[in-house]
Amino acid sequence: MENSAKIVVEKMFSAFGNGDIEKFVAAVSDNTKWIYHGTQIIPAGTFEKKEGVRTFFTNILERTDIISFEPQQYIVEGNMVVVLGQEHQRVKRSGRELKQKWVQIYTVENDLITRMEEFATSEEVN
Protein backbone atom coordinates (compact mmCIF):
# COMPACT_ATOMS: atom_id res chain seq x y z
CA MET A 1 0.00 0.00 0.00
CA GLU A 2 1.35 3.41 -0.97
CA ASN A 3 2.11 5.88 1.81
CA SER A 4 -0.70 8.45 2.21
CA ALA A 5 1.80 11.29 2.78
CA LYS A 6 3.36 10.56 -0.61
CA ILE A 7 -0.08 10.53 -2.26
CA VAL A 8 -0.83 13.99 -0.82
CA VAL A 9 2.44 15.37 -2.23
CA GLU A 10 1.84 13.75 -5.62
CA LYS A 11 -1.66 15.29 -5.81
CA MET A 12 -0.19 18.70 -4.98
CA PHE A 13 2.45 18.25 -7.72
CA SER A 14 -0.32 17.31 -10.17
CA ALA A 15 -2.21 20.53 -9.32
CA PHE A 16 1.02 22.52 -9.82
CA GLY A 17 1.63 20.87 -13.18
CA ASN A 18 -1.91 21.68 -14.28
CA GLY A 19 -1.68 25.29 -13.05
CA ASP A 20 -4.64 24.63 -10.73
CA ILE A 21 -4.05 27.05 -7.87
CA GLU A 22 -7.19 26.02 -5.95
CA LYS A 23 -6.25 22.33 -5.81
CA PHE A 24 -2.66 23.31 -5.02
CA VAL A 25 -3.71 25.43 -2.04
CA ALA A 26 -6.28 22.81 -0.95
CA ALA A 27 -3.40 20.38 -0.33
CA VAL A 28 -1.97 22.48 2.52
CA SER A 29 -3.09 23.03 6.11
CA ASP A 30 -4.33 26.38 7.41
CA ASN A 31 -1.11 26.82 9.43
CA THR A 32 1.35 25.53 6.84
CA LYS A 33 4.83 27.02 6.57
CA TRP A 34 6.92 26.90 3.37
CA ILE A 35 10.59 27.83 3.45
CA TYR A 36 12.39 28.38 0.16
CA HIS A 37 16.12 28.84 0.61
CA GLY A 38 16.54 30.48 -2.78
CA THR A 39 19.02 29.95 -5.58
CA GLN A 40 21.59 31.94 -7.45
CA ILE A 41 18.72 33.45 -9.47
CA ILE A 42 15.52 33.08 -7.43
CA PRO A 43 15.38 34.82 -4.02
CA ALA A 44 14.70 33.05 -0.74
CA GLY A 45 11.40 33.43 1.05
CA THR A 46 9.16 32.11 3.80
CA PHE A 47 5.46 31.65 3.07
CA GLU A 48 2.93 31.00 5.83
CA LYS A 49 -0.67 29.83 5.85
CA LYS A 50 -2.77 29.14 2.75
CA GLU A 51 -2.42 32.72 1.51
CA GLY A 52 1.36 32.49 1.69
CA VAL A 53 1.33 29.29 -0.34
CA ARG A 54 -0.99 30.97 -2.85
CA THR A 55 1.59 33.77 -3.15
CA PHE A 56 4.40 31.21 -3.60
CA PHE A 57 2.45 29.56 -6.43
CA THR A 58 1.40 32.75 -8.20
CA ASN A 59 4.92 34.24 -7.96
CA ILE A 60 6.21 31.29 -9.96
CA LEU A 61 3.46 31.25 -12.59
CA GLU A 62 3.36 35.03 -13.07
CA ARG A 63 7.11 35.19 -13.67
CA THR A 64 7.89 31.97 -15.52
CA ASP A 65 6.57 29.43 -17.97
CA ILE A 66 7.25 25.92 -16.72
CA ILE A 67 8.82 23.90 -19.53
CA SER A 68 9.24 20.79 -17.37
CA PHE A 69 8.81 19.89 -13.71
CA GLU A 70 10.17 16.49 -12.79
CA PRO A 71 10.00 14.92 -9.34
CA GLN A 72 12.54 12.13 -9.77
CA GLN A 73 12.85 10.31 -6.46
CA TYR A 74 10.66 10.05 -3.37
CA ILE A 75 12.04 9.08 0.02
CA VAL A 76 9.25 8.45 2.51
CA GLU A 77 9.49 7.94 6.25
CA GLY A 78 6.26 8.13 8.19
CA ASN A 79 4.65 11.51 7.55
CA MET A 80 7.80 12.98 5.95
CA VAL A 81 8.33 12.95 2.19
CA VAL A 82 11.65 14.02 0.66
CA VAL A 83 11.52 14.63 -3.08
CA LEU A 84 14.52 15.09 -5.37
CA GLY A 85 13.77 16.68 -8.70
CA GLN A 86 14.51 19.19 -11.40
CA GLU A 87 12.71 21.75 -13.50
CA HIS A 88 13.19 23.89 -16.57
CA GLN A 89 11.56 27.32 -16.79
CA ARG A 90 11.44 30.31 -19.13
CA VAL A 91 11.45 33.75 -17.48
CA LYS A 92 8.56 35.66 -19.06
CA ARG A 93 10.13 39.10 -18.84
CA SER A 94 13.49 38.26 -20.40
CA GLY A 95 12.82 35.06 -22.35
CA ARG A 96 15.86 33.49 -20.68
CA GLU A 97 15.68 29.90 -19.60
CA LEU A 98 16.85 28.41 -16.37
CA LYS A 99 17.26 24.90 -15.08
CA GLN A 100 16.99 24.05 -11.44
CA LYS A 101 17.72 20.98 -9.33
CA TRP A 102 16.02 20.76 -5.97
CA VAL A 103 15.31 18.84 -2.80
CA GLN A 104 11.94 19.44 -1.18
CA ILE A 105 11.06 18.15 2.28
CA TYR A 106 7.36 17.83 3.14
CA THR A 107 5.62 17.11 6.42
CA VAL A 108 2.07 15.80 6.05
CA GLU A 109 -0.46 15.61 8.88
CA ASN A 110 -4.13 14.65 8.53
CA ASP A 111 -3.67 14.41 4.74
CA LEU A 112 -2.54 18.06 4.46
CA ILE A 113 0.92 19.51 3.96
CA THR A 114 1.93 21.34 7.14
CA ARG A 115 5.49 22.22 6.12
CA MET A 116 7.69 22.39 3.04
CA GLU A 117 11.36 23.28 2.91
CA GLU A 118 13.21 23.55 -0.41
CA PHE A 119 16.90 23.64 -1.18
CA ALA A 120 17.74 24.38 -4.80
CA THR A 121 20.36 25.47 -7.26
CA SER A 122 19.67 27.13 -10.59
CA GLU A 123 21.54 28.15 -13.69
CA GLU A 124 20.65 30.07 -16.81
CA VAL A 125 20.82 27.93 -19.92
CA ASN A 126 20.55 30.65 -22.59
- The domains located in the chain, with CATH, are 4-124 (3.10.450.50)
Nearest alpha carbon to residue 42 among 126, 123, 125: 123
The per-residue pLDDT of the chain, averaged, comes to 92
Q: What is the mean pLDDT of residues 109-118?
A: 97
24 C-beta neighbours (distance < 10 Å), count: 23
pLDDT over 70 (residue 25)? yes
Q: What is the DSSP letter of 40?
A: S
Across residues 38-44, what is the average pLDDT?
A: 79
pLDDT digits (tens, 9 = 90+) for 63-113: 889 899 999 999 999 999 999 999 999 988 889 999 999 999 999 999 999
How far apart CA 49 and CA 33 sit, in angstroms, is 6
Task: Answer yes or no: are the C-beta atoms of 90 and 97 closer than 8 Å.
Answer: yes
| pLDDT score recorded for residue 1 | 41
